[in-house]
Structure 1
Amino acid sequence: MAKVLSVVGVGPGISLAVAHRFAREGFAVALISRDLAKVEGYVNDLKAAGIEAGAFEYDSADSASLETALKQVEKQLGPTTVLHYNAASLHKGSLEQETADSLVADFRVNTANIVLAVNTVRGKMVPGEGGILLTGGGLAYMNATDYLSLTLGKAATVTLANLLNKTLKPAGIFVGTITVSGTVRPTAEKHTPDNIAEEFWKLYSDRSTVEVRF
């Protein structure tokens, strides 16, 4: 049975590039998103390239649906070897615009669901192979007042990566995050999806550094 990369929060940028990069190393790929039609298109492209892949739907506002999706991945493709959490609530919002309810809703997507996802898959990860990879952002260090919620979320991602690493390292599960400090686009000089995906592969393969700022 192939190793399985489960990607939560899928789009045409970083997450899809990570899927292709890990597939080159023999991983089957599970793409998990709230837009099932979109990821089914990505899965068809992966399958056309000879990659074992599956599309799975979840509602980012419903934590239970993420747990269900990850369990479906296990049934269809096998236990998750590497979890790549890429989901984020992306929108502007200042102190005057945000509310307690909006911050809590975003925190669920940006941070809390990571914990749920990790707890769902870690029990069957193989020591020395298991991995948790989190997409971070430079907002964690920028104090961007017009992106209050996302800044809090990305700062929490760095802290959570360190906490998860301390907890899971004894079990042989690697935890790492790439803090992406630039605008991601295919034509960028540095911050292309493919370049970031390569950094994720290096991070996972080396298994010695929790955070890389890229």
Structure 2
Amino acid sequence: MGRARVQAPLVDLRVSARGPVLLTNLASIAMGFALFSSQIAFPQMLEMPRQAGGMGLSLLQASLVLMPSGLAMLAMSPLAGRLERTWGPKPLLVVGAAVIACGYLIAVAVDLRSQHVLAINLLIGIGIGLGYAAMPTLIMRAVPDTETGAANGLNTLMRSLGTATASAAIAAVLAGSATMVGTESAPSPGGFQSAFVFGLAAATVCTGIALTIPRPRYHPGEHEALDPA
């Protein structure tokens, strides 16, 4: 509830409705969806038997293909901080989302092999590392210092909403496309293609939203958490 009824609300909805905060949260949902679209689809594709249209890798082999994505996110942390000081957080979020979209574009356009999956996941890891680094700064530049914890907590919740939605949606797409291969059911190639299209759409939406995030406005009587300049 807003301050009009509650003196010290846990989350001030009027602050959350400010343009930079609201659009950053919407971009967070889309980026979270884009992240988990790959994390649901690629492990199944890598480990499915070749006769079912998969790559027939063992669990260890599939893990080694997917692991560099997490390492890329880790490696981007110090670089993202430097880039943010040079470019600002908004361009960093735009670039991160665009890099993820490029990864999914490759997934949609190419007949995938394990090396392609590794490269695509690297791009997604780089994009997530850039985008997630930019979001807290975008939030804190637009809220008073008394709202930093609540505002960033809400942003984290929005990311989780995106990942949870992707888990359900992509699982439903893959399950809905399942066909019988011998005595077992497995997702069809068309199901994986649809999952990648969903990821591409989410990354593209995130890029578009990030481009529209406005500069924070000055609010008399407030002390900004971060200098918006």
TM-score by length of 2: 0.28
Q: Specify which structure has the bigger relative contact order, considering alpha-carbon pairs within 8 angstroms and separated by 6 or more residues.
A: 2
- Asked which structure has the greater CA Rg, the reply is 2
Answer 1 or 2: which has greater strand percent: 1
